[in-house]
Amino acid sequence: MRLPRQLEGAVEMFRRLPGVGEKTALRYALEMTTWSVDQTLFFTKELGNLIDLKRCDECGYFCDTALCSVCSQETRLESGIVCVVENVANCLAVEKSGVYKGVYHVLGGVINPFLGIGPEELTIEKLLERIEKHSLKEVILALNPSIEGDVTSAYLRDKLDKLPHSLIVRRIGLGVPMGGSLEHLDSLTILKALENRRSF
């Protein structure tokens, strides 16, 4: 049975989301057909607001103002620790563990020659700038355990070694399986991984 164009369009949009297959997408779209006009308009308006989402001038996390909720807390910066993550989802995952009290730095991905992502596509220069500007003392590399994550960590290590002041550089440890992504781990595993960070 062919779906009407409007329904087909909505199914197609939902299918673009990670983990949503044809069946689930259809279920979402059908559910929305039961909503009032106001509910549907409100839903689409909220999604449209994502266009206006801003990035923190410092760390790259999302925010409403120039600085995000973490960077605007003085104590977080005073800790002297910066946790380097691939993306915002990983930043949220570490924050959810509740133990980390430093600031973040969102790299915007990892080095991946196959996808044409080189170091200059990432916010590495900005990270080095921030470390110098705020005289940060420790860098925790919380990149996902993958070949690309390893390559990027090694590249960062090299860059950090060249900074004029000495730094403690650590990488999160045990408990994070190879090929896994931080956003899919529970808070306890992340907490353990942070505790088990080791010199790198």
Closer CB to Zn ion, 10 or 82, in the complex: 82
If one asks whether residue 86 binds Zn ion (CB under 5 A), the answer comes out as no
Contact residue for Zn ion among 25, 58, 102, 185 (CB under 5 A): 58
Q: Is 29 in the site for Zn ion (CB under 5 A)?
A: no
Q: CB-wise, 29 or 71, nearer to Zn ion? A: 71
Compare residues 129 and 195 and give the one whose CB is closer to Zn ion: 129
Q: In the bound complex, what is the minimum distance in angstroms from residue 107's beta carbon to Zn ion?
A: 13
Q: In angstroms, what is the minimal distance from the CB of 145 to Zn ion?
A: 25
Q: In whole angstroms, how close is the CB of 103 to Zn ion at the nearest point?
A: 7
Determine the size of the site formed for Zn ion (CB under 5 A): 6
Does position 71 interact with Zn ion (CB under 5 A)? The reply is yes
Least distance CB 169 / Zn ion (angstroms): 21
Binder to Zn ion among 25, 59, 124, 169 (CB under 5 A)?
59
3-state secondary structure the chain: CCCCHHHHHHHHHHHCCCCCCHHHHHHHHHHHHCCCHHHHHHHHHHHHHHHHCEECCCCCCEECCCCCCCCCCHHHHHCCEEEEECCHHHHHHHHHCCCCCCEEEECCCCCEHHHCECHHHCCHHHHHHHHHHCCCCEEEECCCCCHHHHHHHHHHHHHHHCCCCCCEEEECCCCCCCCCCHHHCCHHHHHHHHHCCEEC
Q: Are 54 and 62 in contact (CB under 8 A)?
A: yes
56 is a site residue for Zn ion (CB under 5 A): yes
| Residue closer to Zn ion (CB basis): 56 or 111 | 56
Please give the Cα distance from 116 to 86 (Å, whole number). 16
Q: Examine residue 68 and tell whether it contacts Zn ion (CB under 5 A).
A: yes
Closer CB to Zn ion, 126 or 137, in the complex? 126
Cβ(130)–Cβ(136) below 8 Å: yes
By the criterion CB under 5 A, which residues form the site for Zn ion? Answer: 56, 58-59, 61, 68, 71
